[in-house]
């Protein structure tokens, strides 16, 4: 790991503030990054002061004046080169993601691959930032719409995807002509430093203005400065619903834009017509992947009465085969939770479930002994519950899977929708009518609805996001680029007269 840290210019104590290649002397408090894998200190980062933040914003404003005038395909070429740099550093960055965050090494590599994929997507997008042409009701007139960059995009990312979500926002924002200020999670600052290091080298080689890619590390105060700052027209925030409500209120108070990707409470419906063996893979990975710390993690299984006992038995058997341990060992399935606070939240959720009458088919608990010295390793648990339990209505960022019975599809869909969150959902069925009903207007109320795949994971080609307390934002693919631009409608009169719309007469 020491070699990887040196590769990305990370060692000892580091400044957590930069405007690209220019690393500022940070004036805030010190953040120590501990690995949940073994509990060891990796490195330190000095957070931004308010003066640091002001300097970064001013540099970003100046950079925007120049960057927005670069042709979009030229901006796309820079992003293409960044994708190539990420390909070259995929193994090292993936290992750092795994070690600092605690997700499995395969998931660490997958996260970097997701960054590479969004670079590829953004390169193509740089030649497709198109508007519409419309027929005017007035003779000798032409109407069309075009899209212009917004300016500074503030990005607040979470620990569970410490680099991928930044890339979803920044790559699209950059080809759109925006500049970015990134506030990473204070739990995973080193992966952010590594990404900034990679981007800075590519940007410097292409003469990109200083301030197009900025990093401001710190605690929630940095997010509060950004959310209240009228110089930042868009704040994209990923995290808990509680955090999102605070960001949304602050940004809304100044009539700015907030792109919010918040909590999930995702369910898979297991139909009587499901392929149970195939369903098992999606359910188990969805529940225990990243130790249950994905916003798309499977929290609930809504299982038809006729297959409930059989599928529960399959789950219990599969959980007995899970290997929990060092995520850099590719033989293990489940790594640690991010820290001991997350462990306490996991234990409290288990106790709350029992207090409400839940029974555990697979008991949870904290693992101790050799290999578990960090105190962050827990057992994935399975509980039989009712959907209206308070703890079931709440998102717990841990590997606790709730089982719920149903008897007909209308009931199952109502149970699926009967939580405050609305991110990801799925149904496992070979019945075409059931699949179509699940995807219909009367079906899932989530932003993501899948058939015969799980809730966890998403391809960058589709817009990612959810409804209700998930926030309503959309990132990554499809037409998500529009969030990073402002729409302008243009009317051109090429006639010799000036008729008014709606037939209004105004003669002098």
Calpha distance 308→434 (Å, rounded)? 18
Residues 233 and 318 in one domain: no
Q: Is the pTM of this model over 0.95?
A: yes
**pLDDT surpasses 90 at 19:** yes
Residues 296 and 230 in one domain: no
Q: What is the CATH number of the domain that holds 281?
A: 3.40.309.10
- As to burial, measured by CB atoms within 10 angstroms (0-12 exposed, 13-18 middle, 19+ buried), residue 293 is buried
Residues 89 and 175 in one domain: yes
pLDDT single digits (tens) 209-262 = 999 999 999 999 999 999 999 999 999 999 999 999 999 999 999 999 999 999
pLDDT single digits (tens) 256-286 = 999 999 999 999 999 999 999 999 999 999 9
Position 352 in a domain: yes
Residues 16 and 153 in one domain: yes
Calpha distance 245→143 (Å, rounded)? 38
Residue 503 CB contacts under 8 Å (≥ 6 apart), including other chains: none
Residue 6 CB contacts under 8 Å (≥ 6 apart), including other chains: none
Which tokens in the block code for residue 165?
């979500």
Check if the beta carbon of residue 13 is closer than 8 Å to that of residue 210.
Answer: no
Residues 212 and 350 in one domain: no
**pLDDT surpasses 90 at 428:** yes
Position 31 in a domain: yes
Calpha distance 305→311 (Å, rounded)? 10
CA distances from 434 to 123, 266, 297, 443, 444 (A): 38, 19, 23, 10, 12
The domain in which residue 409 lies consists of 266-451
**pLDDT surpasses 90 at 296:** yes
Phi, psi of 437 (to 5 degrees): -65, -40
Q: How far apart are the first and last CA of the chain?
A: 79
HSE-CB for 197 with a 13 A CA cutoff: 20
Calpha distance 448→356 (Å, rounded)? 30
Query: What is the model's pLDDT at position 457?
Result: 80
Position 459 in a domain: no
Q: What angle do CA 480, 20, 205 make, to 5 degrees?
A: 95
Q: Per the structure, how many domains does the chain have? A: 2
**pLDDT surpasses 90 at 287:** yes
Check if the beta carbon of residue 477 is closer than 8 Å to that of residue 447.
Answer: no
Q: What percent of the chain has pLDDT over 90?
A: 98
Calpha distance 250→81 (Å, rounded)? 36
Alpha helices in 68-188 (DSSP H): 72-88, 90-101, 105-125, 164-176
Neighbours of 168 (CB within 10 A): 26
pLDDT single digits (tens) 109-142 = 999 999 999 999 999 999 999 999 999 999 999 9
Beta strands 381-384 and 359-362, pairing class: antiparallel
Query: What is the model's pLDDT at position 283?
Result: 98
Position 226 in a domain: yes
CA distances from 496 to 45, 141, 206, 267 (A): 65, 10, 47, 62
Check if the beta carbon of residue 270 is closer than 8 Å to that of residue 303.
Answer: yes
Average pLDDT over residues 379-406: 98
Residues 75 and 98 in one domain: yes
Calpha distance 395→264 (Å, rounded)? 7
Residues 249 and 278 in one domain: no
Calpha distance 409→269 (Å, rounded)? 9
CA distances from 213 to 21, 58, 150, 179, 180 (A): 9, 13, 15, 6, 5
Question: Which of 111, 114, 210, 261 is flagged as catalytic?
Answer: 261
Position 331 in a domain: yes
CA distances from 205 to 198, 201, 230 (A): 11, 6, 32
Check if the beta carbon of residue 402 is closer than 8 Å to that of residue 383.
Answer: yes
Q: What is the CATH number of the domain that holds 186?
A: 3.40.605.10
Query: What is the model's pLDDT at position 507?
Result: 84
Q: What percent of the chain has pLDDT over 70?
A: 100
Task: Write the DSSP symbol of residue 378.
Answer: B
Position 101 in a domain: yes
Residue 21 CB contacts under 8 Å (≥ 6 apart), including other chains: 200, 201, 203, 204, 210
* Confidence tier at 458 by pLDDT (50, 70, 90): confident
Residues 252 and 287 in one domain: no
The secondary structure of 318-363 as a DSSP string is: HHHT--BS-TTSTT-SB---SSHHHHHHHHHHHHHHHHTT-EEEE-
Average pLDDT over residues 68-76: 98
Phi, psi of 335 (to 5 degrees): -100, -160
Residues 60 and 119 in one domain: yes
Position 463 in a domain: no
* Confidence tier at 351 by pLDDT (50, 70, 90): very high
**Torsion, Cα of 28, 29, 30, 36 (10° steps):** -110
Query: What is the model's pLDDT at position 11?
Result: 86
Which tokens in the block code for residue 70?
């670069």
Residues 242 and 289 in one domain: no
Which residue, of 422, 451, 480, is where some domain finishes? 451
Average pLDDT over residues 168-175: 98
**pLDDT surpasses 90 at 322:** yes
Residues 104 and 177 in one domain: yes
Check if the beta carbon of residue 316 is closer than 8 Å to that of residue 361.
Answer: yes
Phi, psi of 503 (to 5 degrees): 70, 15
Active site residue 261: yes
Residues 141 and 225 in one domain: yes
Query: What is the model's pLDDT at position 508?
Result: 81
Check if the beta carbon of residue 170 is closer than 8 Å to that of residue 200.
Answer: no
Q: Which helix (H) or strand (E) holds 405?
A: strand 400-406
Position 175 in a domain: yes
């Amino acid at each position: 790991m020491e070699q990887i840290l040196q590769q990305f210019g990370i060692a000892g104590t580091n400044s957590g503030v930069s405007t690209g290649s220019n690393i500022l002397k940070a004036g805030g408090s010190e953040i120590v990054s501990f690995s949940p894998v073994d509990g060891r200190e990796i490195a330190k980062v000095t957070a931004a002061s308010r003066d640091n933040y002001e300097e970064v914003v001013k540099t970003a404003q100046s950079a925007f004046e120049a960057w927005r005038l670069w042709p979009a395909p030229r901006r796309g070429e820079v992003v293409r080169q960044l994708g190539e740099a990420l390909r070259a550093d995929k193994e090292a960055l993936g290992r750092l993601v795994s070690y600092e965050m605690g997700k499995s090494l395969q998931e660490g590599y997958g996260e970097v691959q997701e960054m590479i994929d969004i670079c590829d997507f953004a390169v193509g997008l740089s030649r497709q930032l198109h508007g519409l042409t419309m027929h005017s009701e007035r003779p000798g007139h032409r109407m069309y719409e075009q899209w212009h960059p917004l300016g500074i995009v503030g990005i607040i990312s979470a620990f569970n995807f410490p680099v991928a979500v930044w890339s979803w926002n920044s790559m699209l924002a950059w080809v759109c002509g925006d500049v970015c200020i990134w506030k990473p999670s204070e739990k995973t600052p080193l992966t952010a430093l590594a990404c900034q290091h990679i981007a800075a080298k590519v940007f410097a080689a292409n003469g990109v203005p200083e301030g197009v890619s900025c990093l401001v590390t710190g605690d929630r105060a940095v997010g509060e400065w950004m959310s209240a700052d009228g110089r930042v027209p868009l704040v994209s925030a990923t995290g808990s619903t509680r955090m999102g409500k605070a960001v949304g209120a602050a940004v809304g108070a100044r009539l700015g834009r907030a792109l919010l990707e918040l909590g999930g409470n995702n369910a898979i419906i297991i139909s009587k017509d499901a392929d149970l063996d195939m369903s098992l893979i999606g359910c188990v990975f969805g529940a225990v992947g990243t130790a249950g710390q994905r916003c798309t993690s499977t929290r609930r299984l809504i299982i038809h009465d006729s297959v409930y006992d059989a599928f529960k038995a399959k789950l219990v058997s599969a959980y007995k085969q899970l290997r929990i341990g060092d995520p850099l060992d590719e033989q293990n399935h489940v790594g640690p939770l991010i820290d001991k606070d997350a462990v306490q939240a996991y234990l409290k959720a288990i106790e709350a479930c029992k207090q409400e009458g839940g029974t555990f088919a697979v008991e949870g608990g904290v693992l101790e002994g050799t290999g578990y010295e960090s105190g962050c390793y827990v057992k994935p648990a399975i509980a039989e519950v009712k959907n209206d339990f308070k703890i079931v209505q709440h998102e717990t960022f841990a590997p606790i899977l709730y089982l719920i019975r149903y008897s007909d599809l209308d009931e199952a869909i109502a149970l699926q929708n009967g939580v405050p969150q609305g991110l990801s959902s799925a149904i496992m069925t070979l019945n075409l009518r059931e699949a179509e009903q699940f995807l219909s207007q009367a079906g899932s109320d989530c932003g993501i609805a899948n058939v015969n795949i799980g809730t966890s994971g998403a391809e960058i080609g589709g817009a990612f996001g959810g409804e209700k307390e998930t926030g309503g934002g959309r990132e990554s693919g499809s037409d998500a680029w529009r969030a990073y631009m402002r729409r302008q409608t243009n009317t051109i009169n090429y006639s010799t007269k000036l008729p008014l719309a709606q037939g209004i007469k105004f003669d002098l």
